[in-house]
Amino acid sequence: MTTRNMIQAINDAHRVMMRKDPDVVVYGEDAGYFGGVFRVTEGLQKEFGKTRCFDSPISENGIIGTAAGMAAYGLKPVVEIQFADYIYPGYDQIVSEVARMRYRTAGEWTMPMVIRSPYGGGIFGGQTHSQSVEALFTHVSGLKTVIPSNPYDAKGLLIAAIEDPDPVVFFEPKRIYNGPFDGHHDRPVTPWARHPASEVPDDYYVVPLGKANIVRAGEAVTILAYGTMVHVALAAAEENGVDAEVIDLRTLMPLDIATIEASVEKTGRCLVVQEATRTSGFGAELAALVQERCFYHLEAPVVRVAGWDTPYPHAYEWVYFPGPLRMKNALKHVLES
């Protein structure tokens, strides 16, 4: 076991799979020689050569299009979109080609490819470097969408994604690349080295797709979260003395609905947390599913905490971000309803 932050854990997942499978290739803007803007692919070109880890042109539709061709041919591309905000030029390729190939060929062709991208705010990236776009992909049949919240899960989930025969969109919460974030922006950063989930095995292991993790057991309310918001939810439960059960979804599609149902049936209350804008976010889907499947167990309406329906504001980042105060108010609302 080695103590790693999320960058190092994701880097090690690449390395493990590139050693294990010669069909795995890695590329993206600055992903080769420099190792990516966040250094997630650092050292891969040096170890595996320029034919297996290389730089692409600044063309997201080109990155996705070539990856689709490689996957159809039998390779296993793992491509990096430098920021999730830049993924839109490649969206047509993802929706119309990548996600539909298995269906269009009646299962004859698969698309074993992974699209990695850092997403979310909390770093003063402004409107073009802070977006949470996961709902655009969970809506598309044929895609799997993964969002880890810690180094251990990040490595195991990425290995599972690379081995999956279907296309996987793998979003990395960049606010927690170097340490968990409890939502208190005015406090010093806590490094991953102080967190038990930073202990990452050196060798191959898998965290299965479609399996959520109960990171805090409780009886009073179920909190559904993913990515950075898992840590915000945990902190809010502790700070407000709430006996909350916090579920880290890990995979949005496929969704571990069984774990969610069992928890809500036990607690009778549900709070859904997302960093993304509120309207049509994935949290709305979660709230609808809980309402449909757990209606007779609910003692109060499902409550959502989310970002505002605005672009991510640079100057008012911590007003937009669903932090401790909004979590406190939401917990009070769902418990007193």
Give per-residue pLDDT as tens, 46-61.
Answer: 999 999 999 999 999 9
Residue positions annotated with a catalytic role: 129
Sheet holding 53-55, edge to edge: 53-55, 24-28, 76-80, 114-119, 168-173, 144-146, 251-253
Residue with structure tokens 């069992």?
Answer: 262
In a domain, 327, yes or no: yes
- 224 and 182 assigned to the same domain: no
Helix, strand, or coil (residue 55): strand
pLDDT attached to residue 152: 98
Last residue of a domain, one of 143, 173, 200: 200
Per-residue confidence at 97, pLDDT binned at 50, 70, 90?
Answer: very high
Provide the sign of the torsion angle of the four alpha carbons 127, 320, 117, 274, taken in this order: negative
Last residue of a domain, one of 169, 200, 231: 200
Question: Taking 90 as the threshold, does the pLDDT of residue 1 lie above it?
Answer: no
Kindly report the backbone phi and psi dihedral angles of residue 285, in degrees, each rounded to the nearest multiple of 5, phi listed first.
Answer: -65, -45
- 129 and 274 assigned to the same domain: no
What residues contact residue 77 under an 8 Å CB cut-off, 6+ apart? 24, 25, 26, 27, 66, 67, 70, 71, 113, 114
Number of separate domains in the chain: 2
pLDDT attached to residue 283: 98
pLDDT attached to residue 124: 86
Per-residue confidence at 337, pLDDT binned at 50, 70, 90?
Answer: confident
- Work out whether strand 213-216 and strand 251-253 pair parallel, antiparallel, or are unpaired: unpaired
- 192 and 68 assigned to the same domain: yes
6-24 pLDDT, tens digit per residue, is 999 999 999 999 999 999 9
Nearest to 170 by CA among 62, 60, 31, 10: 10
pLDDT over 70, % of the chain: 100
- The model carries a pTM of 0.96
**Range of weakest confidence among 93-102, 103-112, 120-129, 151-160:** 120-129
Provide the sign of the torsion angle of the four alpha carbons 288, 289, 295, 298, taken in this order: negative
Residue with structure tokens 């009646």?
Answer: 106
Last residue of a domain, one of 149, 171, 200: 200
**Is residue 26 within 8 Å of residue 174, measured between CB atoms?**
no
**E strands, 46-201, in order:** 53-55, 76-80, 114-119, 144-146, 168-173, 199-200
**Mean pLDDT over the full length of the chain:** 96
Cα–chain-centroid distance for residue 291? 24
In a domain, 206, yes or no: no
Question: Can the peptide bond before residue 254 be classed as cis, meaning omega within 30 degrees of 0?
Answer: yes
289-330 pLDDT, tens digit per residue, is 999 999 999 999 999 999 999 999 989 999 999 999 999 999
Q: Report which secondary-structure segment, H or E, holds 42.
A: none
Question: Taking 90 as the threshold, does the pLDDT of residue 127 lie above it?
Answer: no
Whichever domain contains 245, its CATH number is 3.40.50.920
Domain containing residue 261:
213-336
pLDDT attached to residue 269: 98
- 282 and 172 assigned to the same domain: no
pLDDT attached to residue 209: 98
Whichever domain contains 101, its CATH number is 3.40.50.970
pLDDT attached to residue 63: 98
195-241 pLDDT, tens digit per residue, is 999 999 999 999 999 999 999 999 999 999 999 999 999 999 999 99
- 276 and 240 assigned to the same domain: yes
Per-residue confidence at 123, pLDDT binned at 50, 70, 90?
Answer: confident
Question: Taking 90 as the threshold, does the pLDDT of residue 273 lie above it?
Answer: yes
Question: Residue 337 and residue 332: Cα distance in Å, rounded?
Answer: 8
**Is residue 305 within 8 Å of residue 320, measured between CB atoms?**
no
- 32 and 132 assigned to the same domain: yes
Q: Report which secondary-structure segment, H or E, holds 270.
A: strand 270-277
The token pair that represents 181 in the structure block? 């974030």
